[in-house]
Amino acid sequence: MTEIVARGLTAVLSIIALIHLYWGLGGIWPARDERQLASVVLGLPNATKLPDAKATLLVAAALAVAAVLPLFVAGILAPPLPRPLIMFGGIAVAMVFWIRGIAAYLPRFRAKFSAEPFATLDRRVYGPLCLLICAGYFTVIFFSPAG
């Protein structure tokens, strides 16, 4: 079962990384223009564009690392680093997604990122997805034969 969870995490996070790569290279899907894209993915009331390409590409790279990490944690791929570092990385990524998932429901975060449709998407999609990714990571960390 943990292999399925690890591969599922890899698939989901790879798709999210590719979307960020697309945005970093100037793409605007699923919006009509950059202003609409900013309102969908940032949630800042006065945002008219995404952060610069470097920042978006950095997020894409971090997501790509987060995508492959479950395969190392589960022992599907041979890890390039010592096992304790791989496990620490897995726990760190899980915690980042846990914090981000919980943030979607905190009043202070919701007040700062209140623009629609982001605010609704955050409560219904982004936050729950982050919590599922966190749960998936902890499943792989604690239940994989290699863990």
Per-residue model confidence (pLDDT) at position 61: 99
Number of Cβ within 10 Å of residue 113's Cβ equals 18
User: Using CA atoms, how far apart are residues 28 and 129, in angstroms rounded to an integer?
Assistant: 22
Structure token digits, residue 52: 């610069």
Closest CA to 2 of 98, 140, 117: 140
SS3 of residue 62 by DSSP: helix
Structure token digits, residue 128: 């729950």
Cβ pair 6, 144 in contact under 8 A? yes
Instruction: Indicate the pLDDT class of residue 146, thresholds 50, 70 and 90.
Output: low
Instruction: Encode pLDDT of 77-129 as tens digits.
Output: 999 999 999 999 999 999 999 999 999 999 999 999 999 999 999 999 999 99
Mean pLDDT, rounded, for 27-54: 94
Percent of the chain topping pLDDT 90 = 97
